[in-house]
Amino acid sequence: MGVRLMVVDDHRLLAEALASALKLRGHRVLAAAAPTAGVAELVVSRAPEVCLMGTAMPAEPGVFDPIVRIKRERPQVAVVVLGPVPSPRGIAAAFAAGASGYVRHDERIEGVERAMAKARAGEAAVAPQLLQGAFTELLNPAAQPDDEGQRLLSMLTPREIEVLVRVAEGEDTRLIAAGMRIAPSTARTHVQRVLMKLGVGSRLEAAALAARTGLLDRAAPDGGPGDTTAGPDRRDFRA
């Protein structure tokens, strides 16, 4: 039996891709959105059974405040957080705010469905390996954790970073070329170089990796090249 759900993520491409995949598997998606604000209002007004809420920075202060309001005004809504490999603090903050589950951004669609079903049934939806990893980190904290987002960012040129941001916002080759005032063939070459440097095979994988590591939040300040809200809404995942 399908789940009535919403998908919210700061990166619209990821929200819409996940929503499309879940629709194909028989679930009823009420909305797939990328609000920079008003997440709680949106969920409260639509009242889904499950809300999948994406975040690139689970340990950031206040990131789970919308969950607190959702659970206060719509306690029947089960919220499952989609995020990067979490720190113990990130998992604790999500559940303290009222989340019913935590799933990694790179989890297979079957794993997301299992988490949705558990959350809807009132169970905690956290993969055992995530809990094991959290406990391991608590017992053996790393002296200086590796910053994967910064490492990836250092591999890209400023122009490639702009291309990645535009890819994550769903721009196709023609829009990238127009926005950067370069030839479509040059834009295509930049995209291929970004995919090669990140070690991924598609634009969607590149966007997911960048979101999971927090790279996009560092690369696209408000009003920067990633701000394409006023432009046409086009999707093209071909390199």
DSSP state of 77: -
CB atoms within 10 A of CB 96: 11
Question: At residue 231, what is the residue type?
Answer: G
User: Would you state the structure tokens that stand for residue 183, as one six-digit string?
Assistant: 């030839």
- List the pLDDT tens digit at each of the 239 positions of the chain: 689 999 998 888 888 999 999 999 999 999 888 775 788 999 999 999 999 998 877 767 788 899 999 999 999 999 999 988 666 777 878 888 899 999 988 888 999 999 999 999 999 888 777 766 665 655 565 544 456 777 788 888 999 999 999 998 888 999 999 999 999 999 999 999 999 888 888 888 888 888 877 777 766 544 344 443 333 333 333 33
- pLDDT tens for 133-181 read 665 655 565 544 456 777 788 888 999 999 999 998 888 999 999 999 9
41: which residues sit within 8 A by CB, 6+ positions away?
none
In angstroms, rounded to a whole number, what is the distance separating the alpha carbons of residues 196 and 93? 35
Neighbouring-strand partners of residue 81: 53, 102
14: which residues sit within 8 A by CB, 6+ positions away?
54, 105, 207, 208, 211
pLDDT at 232: 36
> 93 and 62 in contact (C-beta within 8 Å)?
no
- pLDDT tens for 4-14 read 999 998 888 88
